[in-house]
């Protein structure tokens, strides 16, 4: 294909891109002056007392009048009793500012209403200009949305030519409201497609059109989410017949950025009251509502039957594991919680085990179909019980964890000190409890052992004291535990080698 470059071509392109010529000084100065003028114009315009300015952009230059600085100013005149009077006032205000700033600034002033009407009348020239313009002021992102949509529309039309019958912007784009994303809808004619199933066609079209949406976003540098919905014409028609709410909303509020006589006729028919849902469509909507209610009931059951059950079962099992038991079954969990924490350790009130048993019973009854519905009040009660249960379990968990940490630290310290003494004794190095670190450093230097061993032992000797003073966090205890295991393993290996050497020396030659 023509687009595939040979390695040599790529290399040449890379080299040429590295030698981008600098912008001449006079051009830079000209651009800076233009920017200063436009900034001054913008700052004065947005002080408009009506606060109706929602977009300013620098339009491409005209061939006939290259000295003119063409600027588009978009005004939101919606929800105004007298929009014509407002526009007349705004035009005078903006033109005076333009004249005072620079005689060459030629503002083109449009309202959102004007933009909508231009699209309804298939006058897309202004959209083309916005796509090529440089945005100066765009607080509601209407210009950014139109820019990315127009570029994506152009790419889609070029790719699919006659198959794109409508390219529609969601109504929110033209309402002058701040939005988190940009939504457009593409309708593709599939009525004469014979070579592939419609489902396959729809999937392929969607994939290509979505990828072009990503390209358009990258080209424009616009960070907002750009959502593209693709419909094939037969599905669109079926949705109209079925009175699908999304399609009716699209027909009512959508603005065509391109249309070949498909979208606008249906929009006008809807306005005239000629597009009416059939009896079948109405009944279908009723059926949908019943299904949604049924799904809601199922979700409420699943909240108790799954989420809530495991939300209290898992921490109960975790508590038993930190106590020193292997992971128990759900039934064993309840029995062990009662036996250990209620009766033996007396850390837990019986009501908490009852909460666990109650939720487990709900879970089993839902699973076996005995419980088919649950009220919001019952869920609230269960949630309150679960929160109380978790709070108590966390308290006990922390107590047991701290007790285990004390035991582990004690075992770690005693184990490391014991093997250190053995190493010193084997090497006939004298030591006391107070100078064991100094003696071990002597051994490390003498035997050329890893310096890291001395550092670990030094940390371990400080560990017990710092833990008692609550200076050690859980992560630090874990790290010291890992280091201690390395220390013990290395020291044991050293002693084994030392014993083997002593044995070999004692053997008769």
Distances (CA, A) of 292 to 189, 285, 299, 376: 32, 10, 10, 17
The pLDDT confidence band at residue 23, using thresholds 50, 70 and 90, is: low
- One fold for both 29-139 and 140-276? yes
d(CA 92, CA 17): 47
Cβ neighbors of 265 (< 8 A, separation 6 or more) are none
DSSP for 36-47 reads: HHHHHHHHHHTT
SS (H, E, C) 78-117: CCCCCHHHHHHHHHHHHHHHHHHHCCCEEEEEEEHHHHHH
Q: Is 470 left (phi over 0), alpha (psi -120 to 50) or beta?
A: left
- Amino acid 74: pLDDT: 93
DSSP structure class, residue 48: -
Mean pLDDT across the stretch 172-192? 80
Given a cut of 70, is residue 71 above it in pLDDT?
Answer: yes
- Amino acid 325: pLDDT: 86
Cβ neighbors of 211 (< 8 A, separation 6 or more) are none
DSSP structure class, residue 331: H
Distances (CA, A) of 51 to 44, 46, 74, 142, 230: 12, 7, 12, 16, 36
- Amino acid 5: pLDDT: 40
The pLDDT confidence band at residue 474, using thresholds 50, 70 and 90, is: low
CATH class of the domain at 29-139? alpha beta
* 152 and 226 Cβ atoms separated by less than 8 Å: yes
Q: Which long-range contacts (CB under 8 A, 24 or more apart) does 191-194 make?
A: 191/233, 191/234
* 397 and 319 Cβ atoms separated by less than 8 Å: yes
Digit-coded pLDDT (tens) for 27-54: 677 888 889 999 999 999 998 887 889 9
Q: Residue 353: enclosing H or E segment and its boundaries?
A: helix 350-367
Distance in angstroms between the alpha carbons of the first and the last residue of the chain? 82
The pLDDT confidence band at residue 8, using thresholds 50, 70 and 90, is: very low
For the chain, the residue count is 509
Given a cut of 50, is residue 181 above it in pLDDT?
Answer: yes
DSSP structure class, residue 508: -
Q: How far is CA 284 from the centre of its chain?
A: 35
d(CA 218, CA 13): 21
Digit-coded pLDDT (tens) for 220-265: 888 778 888 888 898 888 888 777 778 888 888 899 999 999 999 9
Q: Where are the alpha helices (DSSP H) in 303-341?
A: 309-323, 330-336
* 422 and 436 Cβ atoms separated by less than 8 Å: no
Given a cut of 60, is residue 18 above it in pLDDT?
Answer: no
Q: By percentage, how much of the chain surpasses pLDDT 90?
A: 28
- Amino acid 21: pLDDT: 55
- Amino acid 16: pLDDT: 40
Between strands 53-58 and 134-137, the pairing is: antiparallel
Digit-coded pLDDT (tens) for 279-303: 666 666 667 667 777 777 777 777 7
The pLDDT confidence band at residue 56, using thresholds 50, 70 and 90, is: very high
What is the dotted CATH code of the domain comprising 140-276? 3.30.460.10
How is the chain split into domains, by residue range?
29-139, 140-276, 282-374, 402-506
Q: How many CB atoms lie within 10 A of CB 312?
A: 22
- ∠ CA(456), CA(462), CA(466), 5° rounding? 130
Digit-coded pLDDT (tens) for 342-377: 999 899 999 999 999 998 888 888 888 888 888 878
DSSP structure class, residue 341: I
d(CA 231, CA 244): 13
Given a cut of 70, is residue 1 above it in pLDDT?
Answer: no
Q: How many CB atoms lie within 10 A of CB 141?
A: 24
Given a cut of 80, is residue 13 above it in pLDDT?
Answer: no
Q: How many CB atoms lie within 10 A of CB 434?
A: 7
Digit-coded pLDDT (tens) for 373-412: 888 788 888 889 999 999 999 999 888 877 777 777 788 8
* 275 and 269 Cβ atoms separated by less than 8 Å: yes
d(CA 355, CA 396): 16
* 334 and 357 Cβ atoms separated by less than 8 Å: yes
User: What six digits make up the tokens of 74?
Assistant: 């978009």
Digit-coded pLDDT (tens) for 95-109: 999 999 999 999 999
Q: Tokens 């006391």 sit at which residue?
A: 432
340 SS3 class: helix
Cβ neighbors of 386 (< 8 A, separation 6 or more) are 308, 311, 312, 355, 359
462 SS3 class: helix
Digit-coded pLDDT (tens) for 95-154: 999 999 999 999 999 998 999 999 999 999 999 999 999 999 998 888 988 999 999 999
d(CA 308, CA 382): 8
């Amino acid at each position: 294909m023509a687009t595939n470059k040979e390695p040599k071509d790529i290399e040449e392109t890379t080299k040429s891109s590295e030698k981008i010529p600098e912008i001449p000084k006079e051009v830079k100065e000209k651009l800076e002056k233009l920017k200063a003028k436009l900034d001054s114009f913008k700052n004065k315009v947005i002080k408009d007392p009506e606060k109706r300015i929602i977009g300013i952009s620098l339009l491409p230059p005209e061939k006939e009048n290259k000295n003119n600085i063409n600027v588009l100013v978009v005004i939101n005149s919606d929800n105004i009793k007298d929009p014509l009077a407002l526009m007349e006032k705004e035009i005078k205000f903006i033109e005076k500012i333009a004249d005072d700033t620079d005689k060459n600034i030629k503002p083109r002033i449009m309202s959102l209403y004007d933009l909508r009407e231009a699209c309804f009348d298939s006058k897309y020239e202004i959209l083309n200009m916005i796509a090529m313009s440089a945005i100066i002021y765009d607080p509601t992102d209407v210009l950014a949305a139109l820019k990315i949509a127009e570029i994506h529309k152009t790419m889609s039309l070029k790719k699919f030519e006659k198959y794109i019958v409508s390219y529609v912007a969601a109504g929110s784009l033209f309402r002058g409201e701040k939005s988190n994303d940009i939504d457009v809808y593409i309708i593709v004619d599939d009525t004469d497609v014979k070579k592939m199933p419609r489902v396959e066609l729809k999937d392929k079209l969607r994939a290509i059109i979505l990828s072009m949406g990503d390209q358009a976003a990258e080209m424009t540098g616009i960070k907002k989410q750009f959502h593209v919905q693709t419909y094939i014409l037969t599905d669109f028609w079926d949705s109209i017949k079925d009175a699908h709410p999304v399609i009716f909303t699209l027909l009512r509020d959508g603005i065509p950025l391109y249309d070949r006589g498909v979208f606008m006729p249906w929009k006008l028919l809807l306005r005239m009251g000629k597009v009416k849902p059939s009896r079948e469509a109405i009944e279908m909507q009723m059926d949908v509502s019943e299904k949604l209610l049924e799904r809601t009931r199922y979700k409420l059951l699943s909240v108790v039957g799954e989420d809530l059950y495991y939300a209290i079962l898992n921490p109960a099992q975790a508590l038993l594991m930190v106590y020193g038991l292997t992971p128990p079954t759900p039934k064993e969990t309840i029995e062990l919680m009662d036996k250990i924490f209620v009766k033996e350790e007396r850390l837990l009130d019986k009501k908490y085990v009852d909460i666990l048993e109650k939720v487990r019973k709900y879970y089993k009854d839902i699973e076996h179909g005995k419980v088919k519905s649950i009220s919001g009040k019952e869920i609230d009660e269960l949630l309150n019980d679960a929160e109380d249960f978790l709070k108590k379990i966390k308290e006990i968990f922390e107590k047991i964890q701290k007790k285990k940490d004390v035991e582990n630290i004690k075992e770690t310290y005693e184990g490391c000190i014991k093997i250190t003494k053995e190493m010193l004794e084997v090497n006939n190095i004298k030591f006391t409890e107070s100078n064991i670190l100094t003696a071990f450093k002597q051994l490390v230097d003498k035997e050329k052992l890893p310096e890291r061993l001395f550092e670990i032992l030094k940390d371990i000797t400080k560990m017990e004291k710092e833990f008692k003073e609550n200076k050690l966090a859980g992560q630090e205890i874990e790290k010291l535990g890992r280091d201690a295991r390395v220390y013990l393993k290395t020291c044991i290996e050293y002693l084994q080698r030392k014993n083997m050497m002593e044995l070999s020396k004692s053997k008769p030659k």
